[in-house]
Amino acid sequence: MDTDTERLTLSIDGVEIPAVFTAPAQPCAAVLLIPGSLNSDVDGNFAPMFPGQAAAVTNVYRDLATQLAGRGLAVLRFSKRGPGTGCIARDEALAKERYRFFPQRLRVAERFLEELGRRAPGLRCVLAGHSEGSVVATLLAPLRPEIAGLVLLSGPSLPLLRLMIWQRHETDRAAGTLTPLLEQAYAEACGWAEDFRADRPLPTDVSRNPYAGMFSFFSQPGAADYLRSLEQVDPAAELARVRQPVLIVQGGRDTSVLAANAGRLREAQPDAEMAYFPELQHFYKAAPAGLSAQESFLLSGESDPAVAAAIAAWIGTLENRANNRSPAHGRPSAMRGGA
């Protein structure tokens, strides 16, 4: 299917944010693709955040947009502000004030949603958020009742700091290496995460705890405000409030957001459908078993088109769902895949 691609820029609170609109000649629905964490450019590539760090060239958002457009969907994707993303601060003072807190991500996504509505008028619109972007999409969906559905792409089920602690604990559990001392350290680290969320002082010796490796980064002056405001959001609890149909997409070899998160999200939203891909990692590349988290994160190559196919097929069912839903019966039960 022939598609057109148009580059554009929106100026939002002192920052020019690049975006790309990809669409076939006659789209059947529209998707707003919300990027994840870190400094993601419009294609889903990540420049180094500190000296010595490798760049990640995943092109995951470009791949998803192209593949979805090939299946009849208009897609608008955009960058997340940060070094190497193409975003330009035209008003440094305003940008510093607004973008230092996580809720600004919701404001940015809403502006791009309005832009998508102008470019694809009258079409059914779906939010698709990747990783941290799934938290943004989950918060935005209840605010915009015109949204027809919510796609969570490798979405976390816990606030970020708690997620990192829990995932390290789950990894130790799977390896059979947990000990009473590690269980005690896990409980201690969870308590510190709550202290960080509430802006209470942390111990000076957090590095002694094997589950507290990220606390020093979270506490840095340039990151603390954003990360603390992100820590206020419980993704599973927010998902439970969503009334639109939900599709959970998860790779079985995701080392950034472990596959167990998908099950926790479904517990919060039992009617959600699941698209599970056992051999795919965080950016939907085929990943050999046993890769380290860094090796997995840096995989390149095309993202598996099966993910876009599953999303497009699910979006194709939304019209029937809307026609069958009535106030007397509430939401229909969705067919559930295996996790």
User: Does 85 map to a domain?
Assistant: yes
User: Does 150 map to a domain?
Assistant: yes
Is 168 in the same domain as 148? Answer: no
Is 219 in the same domain as 135? Answer: no
Is 153 in the same domain as 259? Answer: yes
User: Does 37 map to a domain?
Assistant: yes
Is 83 in the same domain as 222? Answer: no
Q: How many domains does the chain have?
A: 2
Number of Cβ atoms within 10 Å of the Cβ of 103? 15
User: Does 333 map to a domain?
Assistant: no
User: Mutual orientation of helices 60-69 and 305-316 as an angle, nearest 10°?
Assistant: 50
pLDDT of residue 3: 87
Q: Where among 202, 230, 258 does a domain terminate? A: 230
Q: Which domain holds residue 213?
A: 160-230
The model's pLDDT over 73-124, given as tens digits with 9 standing for 90+, comes to: 999 999 999 999 999 999 999 999 999 999 999 999 999 999 999 999 999 9
Number of Cβ atoms within 10 Å of the Cβ of 306? 13
User: Does 332 map to a domain?
Assistant: no
User: Does 329 map to a domain?
Assistant: no
Is 243 in the same domain as 127? Answer: yes
Residues 6+ apart with CB under 8 A from 145: none
Q: Where among 230, 259, 281 does a domain terminate? A: 230
Residues of the chain with pLDDT under 50: 326-339
